[in-house]
Structure 1
Amino acid sequence: MATYDSLGTTYARTRQPDPRIAAQIRAALGTATDVINVGAGTGSYEPPQTTLSVEPSEVMIAQRPPGSAPAVQAVAEHLPLVDDAADAVMALLTVHHWSDLAAGIGELRRVARRRIVILTWDQEIFRERFWLVRDYLPEAAAFDDTRAIPTDQLADLLGGARQEPVPVPHDCLDGFGAAYWRRPRAYLDPQVRAGISMLAQNGEDTLAPGLTRLADDLATGRWHTRHAELLTLDTIDVGYRLLVSAP
């Protein structure tokens, strides 16, 4: 979407694919011989059989690594593809950016012969379990309330889909929203925040009071005392979900 022409400039540095999440996505794609990636961004998690990527932002397309699948600048709601264009279509952390969700899902169903795989999150679980938005940045949670798509609604639009939890590793390589749940100091880094849309789209002035409280709690050790149990965990479920549909 257009905002990523300004928000997406750091994605190639902070949003590298995590191999454990990649393995779960590959398993969900099953035996698909060709895959189309919609809302592709810089191309994270594209399997070798990706034949085309669809992405609205020129800035994001320009950050795709050499050897990536060909990319076309277009939106999910109007895919420049024929019916049944590929075995599988995937859309990862993108549906919340679409201007017309029903139209976009309709397009995915039109072009996928066998399977649709969507990575998204359950906002209620995210709000409750993720300490950053619950304790420090409720403004970011409120922003996501306006755009998060209930997973049951997505499943209905897909004509039925199974939902798989996507655990976030403590050392996750992909710097999306909750990636640094056990590395709290990372959220004080402006470059890290620039790669997380729920933070970048709120603006620094909005986030400043909460980030100041976080910095103070880290300096005094209060954060580590309050969240000591997190430091013993290797992964956490904060609501990220993989929806897998068979059209």
Structure 2
Amino acid sequence: MGDLYDDIGVGYSSARRTDPRWMTAIDAALGDAPTVVDVGAGTGSYEPADRQVIAVEPAVEMIRQRPSGAAPVVRALAEALPVRAAAAAMAVLTVHHWKDWRKGLAEMRRVAPRRVVLAYDTELHADYWFVREYVPEIAELERGRPSADDIAHELGADTVIPLLVPWDFTDGVFPAYWRRPAAYLAPQVRFTCSALAQAPAGAVSRGLARLREDLSSGRWRHRHQDLLELDEWDAGFRLIVSG
């Protein structure tokens, strides 16, 4: 994962900003754990401020963007956590990037009695309107990743909580712009989203050109009028709690 985010992570902290609604859910899932290891921590978007946190992140570019005052960070992989013990371990939208995700989850089980993982249903992402209508090549990428159900099973999850995506979501995850399609035309969105950054560049360019035409002609709005009437939408994100 380090190599990927050293390449696509430039400007990540400006595009992937903490959404307080998800932060509240993650904080509640951590329970009363006083110590937390944040695995695949990135820029620290969802690290709780009122607990002792140790961040683990392999990408230098992501570490560089962690804000002043953020939790201390160790450059390491999820599959070999440099931590003996913590009350809780968290991993936010990172497991699908690990080279050996089962080994990484085993490491989370080793170091903490409580595990909180934010993942997503890969089938729902593969069937997202942007993928289905504009860049279908992304579907193969998504279906090759561990899905939320796979991760929940591996962890022996006690609880799986759907996290809906509000229309004005501030964290630029891939489906964040389900009701704001013009956002996908911005280079910053394209280059800080792994699904777009890892898809064939030619396919993404062709898809964005079609999207631009459909926005200009009104075809996108006509096809997706139902989405424009929603305040939040289930894109498949699941908060998995174990232990």
TM-score range normalised by the length of the shorter chain: over 0.9
Counterparts of 2:214 and 2:177, CA distance in 1: 16
Counterparts of 1:72 and 1:141, CA distance in 2: 33
Q: 2:138 aligns with which of 137, 140, 145?
A: 140
Indicate yes or no: 2:190 matched with 1:182: no
Q: 2:152 aligns with which of 151, 155, 160?
A: 155
Percentage of matched positions with identical amino acids: 50
Corresponding letter in the other structure for 1:90: M
2:42 is paired with a residue whose SS is: coil
CA positional deviation for 1:76: 0.3
**Which residue of structure 2 aligns with residue 193 of structure 1?**
190
**Which residue of structure 2 aligns with residue 54 of structure 1?**
56
1:91 is paired with a residue whose SS is: strand
Indicate yes or no: 2:84 matched with 1:87: no
The answer to whether the Cα contact below 8 Å between 1:37 and 1:50 also exists between their aligned partners in 2 is no
The answer to whether the Cα contact below 8 Å between 2:37 and 2:88 also exists between their aligned partners in 1 is yes
CA positional deviation for 1:41: 0.4
CA positional deviation for 1:126: 2.4
CA positional deviation for 1:203: 4.1
Counterparts of 2:79 and 2:121, CA distance in 1: 22
Corresponding letter in the other structure for 1:57: A
Counterparts of 1:159 and 1:231, CA distance in 2: 37
Deviates more, 1:169-178 or 1:118-127: 118-127
Runs of at least 4 residues of structure 1 off by over 4 A? none
CA positional deviation for 1:81: 1.1
Give the TM-score, by structure 2 length. 0.96
The answer to whether the Cα contact below 8 Å between 2:126 and 2:143 also exists between their aligned partners in 1 is no
Counterparts of 2:123 and 2:21, CA distance in 1: 24
Aligned CA RMSD, in angstroms, stands at 1.1
The answer to whether the Cα contact below 8 Å between 2:23 and 2:46 also exists between their aligned partners in 1 is yes
Counterparts of 1:50 and 1:196, CA distance in 2: 29
Q: What runs of 5+ residues in structure 2 fail to find an aligned partner?
A: none
1:132 is paired with a residue whose SS is: helix
Number of matched pairs: 241
Counterparts of 1:3 and 1:125, CA distance in 2: 23
**Which residue of structure 1 aligns with residue 38 of structure 2?**
37
**Which residue of structure 1 aligns with residue 103 of structure 2?**
103
**Which residue of structure 2 aligns with residue 166 of structure 1?**
163
Counterparts of 1:152 and 1:193, CA distance in 2: 27
Counterparts of 2:201 and 2:221, CA distance in 1: 25
